[in-house]
Amino acid sequence: MITLAVAVILMVSLYFYVTRNFKYWEQRGIKHDKPIPFVGNDLQGFLFRKSMTQVANDQYWKYPNERVVGFFRASQPELIIRDPELVKRILITDFDYFYKRGFTYENTVFEPLMQNLFFAEGDVWKLLRQRITPAFTSGKLKAMFPLIVERAEKLQARTMAAAVEGKPLDARDLMARFTTDFIGACGFGLDADSLNEEDSAFRKLGIKIFKFGTKDIIQLVLKEMFPDLFRNIKIWARLEDDMNDLVGEILRKRNYKPIGRNDFIDLILECQMKGTMKGESIEKRKPDGTSEIATLDMDLGLIAAQVFVFFAAGFETSSSATSFTLHQFAYHPEVQKKAQAEIDRVLAKHGGKLSYDAVKEMTYLEWAFKEGMRMFPSLGFLLRKSTRPYHFPDLNMTIDKNVKITIPLQSLHNDPKYFPEPEVFRPERFDPEDFDSNNKYVYLPFGEGPRACIGARLGLMQSLAGLAAVLSSFTVEPAPQTLRHPTVDPKSSIVQSIDGGLPLMFHQRKK
């Protein structure tokens, strides 16, 4: 009898725990779906039937007349933003209230790999940002370009082998190998050769970062549902040894000093040689209201964390964006011919060689790439978290500290209110003379504000070089098994990926 009573008490307590916040949006007059115990509004996400982007997209279109939509991920309230003016406030105007990215959990175990420029919060993020930003100047990007050209030539060679055999190639895998080799060269001074080696260790590492096993998925679900109870679970523990070994080996070969290669490891070592990072804290204030001074040392763990995110972010986002653009070219031959004509003209002007200056002149190709990112942004959403209570005056509503904010890019990018006929692949939308300046806070493939992607220009340069290398020598067409509208992998997390790849036919051009 006592055992039964204890069980009932535990079940009732658990029910109240998982539903404790379910009146949050109702009390604030914000429209939302009725939440379900344990999963909130994210049943499809927890069952891995829909990705985070797809779930946010469903909510965006379900409430077309609202500026914001309430949402519950498990028991935690989140706010989905549907209005560009509110997007601007969160990312820029009131950034001090939303400087946290929101992917880390409060009061949980320390994860070394999360201390990178993308995931880090507060002072760690701020000090890293101000120290690393100079590493991405135009001059440093230009110095890296010869390394990109070498990889672009290997990309052409691998594509040629498939073209001669008349076999389809998975554009997603092809461009992932190209970006992996680029990161190996420009990031770490390694000749990964993922384009030619089917079992390249570097390529396997890239796949491993985004491949979660059953155990990993269960841990993720438990930490999402019960962050207080499962605070000691590490999300990235499976990669810590791999990244530390990789970075340690590279640093030892360089004797822990820059070697003049101008790659990412050199730039990080230069940052380390400048000594302790110091700056005004955005987290802590003195009694008089002024900021305290925050400090941070670039030790081995912090270097490994930056290498991890440089590898992960550069590999996955660029390969996703370039392969989807090639997919659109395959179904729009008239657009492809226009891009190829520009590429041919520019390369002829530059002696037939791909170069930094040549890529900068390929404006139509850049428009096409931006249009591809509009239709299918690699990051389908932006996430932020309130650092203290924030009042929305025009909504007459205040949110508490630690409420997450979702900005659904996939939805905004494909809303006909901002981009007429959004399903149509039309690069001319990004002609500066035609682009609607009001859409500045709608089209955000690289984010915006102080936490915008620091490697945006590098990613753009790498992606355009890869596209130019392919289209200068090949014409792409759909393969027999190609889906006109490919499906998103429902297990996608931060970065969207296509289920089953993007098979295309590559035919050598006759010039």
Percent of the chain predicted with pLDDT > 90: 54
> Is there a contact between 335 and 368 (Cβ–Cβ < 8 Å)?
yes
In this structure, is residue 11 part of a structural domain? no
Does residue 330 belong to any structural domain of this protein?
A: yes
Whether the Cβ atoms of residue 404 and residue 384 lie closer than 8 Å to each other: yes
Helical spans, DSSP H, in 332-413: 333-349, 356-360, 363-375, 409-413
User: Which residue range forms the structural domain that includes residue 346?
Assistant: 22-508
98: pLDDT strictly greater than 70: yes
Q: How many domains does the chain have?
A: 1
Residue 214 pLDDT greater than 90, yes or no? no
Greatest CA separation for the chain? 88
- What is the mean pLDDT of the segment spanning 95-111? 84
Quote the Cα angle for 243-236-297, to 5°. 60
| Residue 63 lies inside a defined structural domain of this protein | yes
Domain for residue 239, yes or no? yes
Q: Residue 502 pLDDT > 60, yes or no?
A: yes
Tokens of 466: 């890869």
Question: CA-CA distance, 345 to 12, in Å (whole number)?
Answer: 72
CA-CA distance, 123 to 293, in Å (whole number)?
Answer: 10
Say if 5 falls within a structural domain.
Answer: no
CATH number of the domain at 193, please: 1.10.630.10
pLDDT tens-digit series, residues 363-417: 999 999 999 999 999 999 999 999 999 999 999 999 999 999 999 999 999 999 9
In terms of average pLDDT, the best of 230-239, 242-251, 389-398 is 389-398
pLDDT band at 202 (very low <50, low <70, confident <90, very high): low
Q: For tokens 């001319």, what's the residue? A: 428
Burial state string for 201-239 with b = 16 or more CB within 10 A and e = fewer than 16: ebbebbeebbebeeeeeebbbebbbbbeebeebbbbeeb
Rounded Cα–Cα distance for residues 267 and 341 (Å): 37
With contact defined as beta carbons under 8 Å apart, do 74 and 225 qualify? yes
Instruction: Please check whether residue 194 is in contact with residue 183, taking contact to mean a CB–CB distance below 8 angstroms.
Output: no
Q: Is residue 13 part of a domain?
A: no
Strands 397-399 and 76-81 turn out to be unpaired
453 in a labelled binding site: yes
Q: What is residue 102's predicted lDDT score, i.e. its pLDDT?
A: 86
Is 150 among the domain residues? yes
Residue 119 bridge partners (DSSP): none
The answer, yes or no, to whether residue 193 has pLDDT greater than 70, is: no
Angle at the Cα of 123 from the Cα atoms of 121 and 124, rounded to 5 degrees? 65
pLDDT of residue 225: 75
CA 178 from centre of chain:
18
Q: Is 201 left (phi over 0), alpha (psi -120 to 50) or beta?
A: alpha
Backbone torsions φ then ψ of 13, nearest 5 degrees: -65, -40
Which of 92-106, 121-135, 336-350 ranks highest by mean pLDDT? 336-350
Residue 181 to residue 201: CA distance in whole angstroms = 11
Which of 12-21, 351-360, 458-467 bottoms out in mean pLDDT, i.e. has the lowest?
12-21
352: β partners? none
**Does some domain include residue 4?**
no
Give Cα separations from 365 to 109, 155, 200, 296, 427 (angstroms): 45, 18, 30, 41, 8
Supply the Cα-derived Rg of the chain in whole angstroms: 24
Average pLDDT over residues 433-442: 86
Say which DSSP state 291 is in.
E
Band of the pLDDT at 245, cuts 50, 70, 90?
A: confident
Per-residue pLDDT band for 18 (boundaries 50, 70, 90) equals confident
Q: Which two tokens stand for residue 362?
A: 């390929």
What mean pLDDT value characterizes the chain?
88
- The owner of tokens 């005004």 is 280
The strand ranges marked E within 143-285 are 169-170, 277-285
The pLDDT value recorded for residue 308 is 84
